[in-house]
Amino acid sequence: MTDHELAEDGVPRGQGVLDLLVDLLDLERIEDDIYRGVSPEHSSVRVFGGQVAGQALVAAGRTVPPERGVHSLHAYFIRGGDPSVPIVYEVDRIRDGRSFTTRRVVAVQRGKAIFALSASFQTTEPGIEHAEEMPDVPDPESLPTHGERMTPDLRAKFGAWADRPRPIDVRYVSEPPWLSRETGPRDARNQVWMRADGKLADDPLLHVCVLAYASDMTLLDAVLAKHGVYWGTDKVMGASLDHAMWFHRPFRADEWILYDCASPSASGGRGLATGRFFTRDGRLVATVVQEGLLRLVR
């Protein structure tokens, strides 16, 4: 499949579209510790948060020995990014220790910071282990694709967003909030299966960066579901404010991963969501926490 071909559900996806995402994460090196990234042609009015997080993590990882894998990141979305302008990523080598490496990355547009990330990398070490169990959910193959969920009425309502190229195959386990809103609020929870829609190279950093990209998708759905509203269909305005991830175990982003999300609180025009990533065989591989700006426009 090329990036111009459509899947059966009418949405551009598959290896060609995934290759475009990999190209998006393959930053241009300007000079030592300075990189430049761009946004895809099919961008909205603001740079997707997962894109800038993934690109910043790529920039940090390019300055770290490959035997040290990223185990955590903490980031703040400072300003909305302009997709028509390249993003410059400046890496600060905070520390290179015996076991840990710390990097700070600032993403800049027009001379102003739009995003800041701190990431920690660690050599592989043995130690104690335990993990929460994966929820009991249907297999991803039994669930409809995103495009199959899009009825003609929904396509008309969402416009170009409904048919945007999707390098990540997302399949809702729980009812999507744009459908459940028709019947009213439900539990502050959202579950999806997701995977890169094609084959990725055997580079652990690439798989981590693709998961970081995907982690900004559907996470705040858990907040919206509780209140029976959704982007584009209700007068709700939102944006990611901060984002933290912890990577526990190795995984492949091109294999099915369950994204189990919940929202413990919403207040002050902000909503908090937590997410857990499980591989198909039940291993907990990553945890994410994000706070988002959520305003109901009167």
Q: Could you give the 3-state DSSP secondary structure of residue 190?
A: strand
Across the beta sheet with 189-196, the strand order is 28-31, 34-37, 87-96, 100-109, 112-123, 68-77, 236-247, 284-296, 270-279, 257-267, 189-196, 168-172
Token reading at 111: 């001379």
> One of 240, 254, 260, 263 is an active-site residue; which one?
240
Are 173 and 138 spatial neighbours (Cβ–Cβ below 8 Å)?
yes
Examine the residue annotation and report whether 55 is marked as an active-site residue of this protein: no
Q: Could you give the 3-state DSSP secondary structure of residue 80?
A: coil
Place of tokens 């559900």: 9
Distance CA 298, CA 296 (A): 6
Question: Number of C-alpha atoms within 13 angstroms, CB side, residue 7?
Answer: 21
Quote the DSSP letter at residue 146: H
Quote the DSSP letter at residue 52: H
Are 277 and 256 spatial neighbours (Cβ–Cβ below 8 Å)?
no
Place of tokens 């490496």: 101
CA 66 distance to own-chain centroid: 22
Q: Alpha carbon of 144 to those of 11, 172, 174, 176, 201: distances in Å?
A: 13, 8, 11, 11, 27
> One of 51, 118, 215, 290 is an active-site residue; which one?
290
Where b means 16+ CB within 10 Å and e means fewer, 229-241 reads: bbbeebebebebb
> One of 15, 51, 197, 216 is an active-site residue; which one?
216
Place of tokens 């901060």: 242
Name which of 224, 248, 236 is nearest 174 in CA terms. Answer: 224
Active site residues: 216, 240, 290
